[in-house]
């Protein structure tokens, strides 16, 4: 069993490793979560070498600004060479479950713009089959019950994330009990449910590079 201190060190290791992918004089996409917090801390050392960042959440925006890194609106940026973000689960094909922090919609939008998605994660996130981590789904509040009934038909057990509103003013249903053998097909199918804003499967646009923190060092997977 890995201690919290060890896990934090692995997050810092992958965060530092991701700096090698940051091009000079670029605007980069930055995700959300505790691993990305480590990346933003590491990025501060490089802040004079980049133009700034596009952020996927209010949380990351505040942290970037506090460290003196300029934050751009995505609409004012036509291209992002890289997007660096964590994952709640990632499989060997680099498909992911994301949205544990509730920022999945903006994360998916920024990831869609980026040329390269670099996933940073400690080894606990690597799984053979996605679904042990409950799949987050952002839903328009008035559609919550309808969408929940549809999700039950998919074989899942949706639970409303209590006391949580997304940056877009919506709610999150966390779907338990799914064994996701075909993430690509499920991602498309969930998008067809009226009232679903976004689901936390990142399979159509998975990661291009996984930097995985292990006690023996950072492993790079493509």
* Sheet strands side by side (includes 157-160): 157-160, 171-176, 135-139, 196-199
User: Measuring CA to CA, which residue among 221, 215, 213, 219 is closest to residue 13?
Assistant: 213
Of 28, 43, 95, 103, the one binding ligand 5RP by CB under 6 A? 103
Whether the CB-CB separation of 71 and 52 falls below 8 Å is answered with yes
Give the burial class of 173: count Cβ atoms within 10 A of its Cβ; 0-12 exposed, 13-18 middle, 19 or more buried.
Answer: buried
Provide, rounded to whole angstroms, the least separation between the CB of residue 24 and ligand 5RP: 26
Provide, rounded to whole angstroms, the least separation between the CB of residue 80 and ligand 5RP: 17
Query: How many CB atoms neighbour CB 113 within 10 A?
Result: 14
- SS3 for 45-76 is HHHHHCCEEEECCHHHHHHHHHCCCCEECHHH
Q: Which of residues 13-42 bind ligand 5RP (CB under 6 A)?
A: 31-35
204 known member of a binding site: no
**End-to-end CA separation in angstroms for the chain:** 27
Rounded CA separation 64/60 (Å): 6
Of 17, 27, 87, 196, the one binding ligand 5RP by CB under 6 A? 87
| Token pair listed for 21 | 């992918």
Q: Is 206 in the site for ligand 5RP (CB under 6 A)?
A: no
CA atoms within 13 A on the CB side of 202: 31
Active-site residue among 89, 107, 138, 187? Answer: 107
| 44 SS3 class | helix
**Whose Cβ is closer to ligand 5RP: residue 59's or residue 144's?**
59
Provide, rounded to whole angstroms, the least separation between the CB of residue 104 and ligand 5RP: 5
Q: Is 104 in the site for ligand 5RP (CB under 6 A)?
A: yes
Q: Is 156 in the site for ligand 5RP (CB under 6 A)?
A: no
Provide, rounded to whole angstroms, the least separation between the CB of residue 154 and ligand 5RP: 21
214 known member of a binding site: no
213 known member of a binding site: no
Q: Is 70 noted as a catalytic residue in this protein?
A: no
101 known member of a binding site: yes
Per-residue interface string for the shown chain with ligand 5RP, residues 43-82, x marking contact by CB under 6 A:
----------------------------------------
For the annotated binding site for substrate, the residues are: 32-35, 85-88, 98-101, 125
Q: Which residues are catalytic?
A: 107
Residues at the contact surface with ligand 5RP, assessed by CB under 6 A: 31-35, 85-88, 98-104, 107
């Amino acid at each position: 069993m890995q201690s919290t201190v060890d896990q934090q060190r692995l997050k810092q290791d992958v965060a530092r490793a991701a700096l090698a992918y940051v091009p000079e004089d670029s605007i980069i996409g930055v995700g959300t979560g505790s691993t990305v917090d480590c990346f933003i801390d590491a990025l501060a050392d490089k802040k004079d070498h980049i133009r700034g960042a596009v952020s996927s959440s209010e949380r990351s925006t505040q942290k970037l600004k506090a460290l003196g890194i300029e934050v751009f609106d995505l609409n004012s940026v036509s291209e992002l060479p890289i997007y660096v973000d964590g994952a709640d689960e990632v499989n060997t094909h680099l498909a992911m479950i994301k949205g544990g922090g509730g920022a999945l919609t903006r994360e998916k939008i920024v990831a869609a713009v980026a040329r390269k998605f670099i996933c940073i994660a400690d080894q606990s996130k690597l799984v053979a089959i996605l679904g042990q981590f409950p799949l987050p789904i952002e839903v328009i509040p008035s559609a919550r019950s309808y969408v929940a009934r549809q999700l039950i038909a998919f074989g899942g057990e949706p639970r409303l994330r209590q006391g949580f509103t997304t940056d877009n003013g919506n709610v999150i249903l966390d779907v338990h009990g799914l064994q996701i053998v075909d993430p690509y097909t499920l991602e498309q199918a969930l998008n067809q449910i009226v009232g679903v804003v976004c689901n936390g499967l990142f399979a159509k646009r998975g990661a291009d590079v996984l930097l995985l923190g292990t006690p023996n060092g950072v492993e790079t997977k493509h």
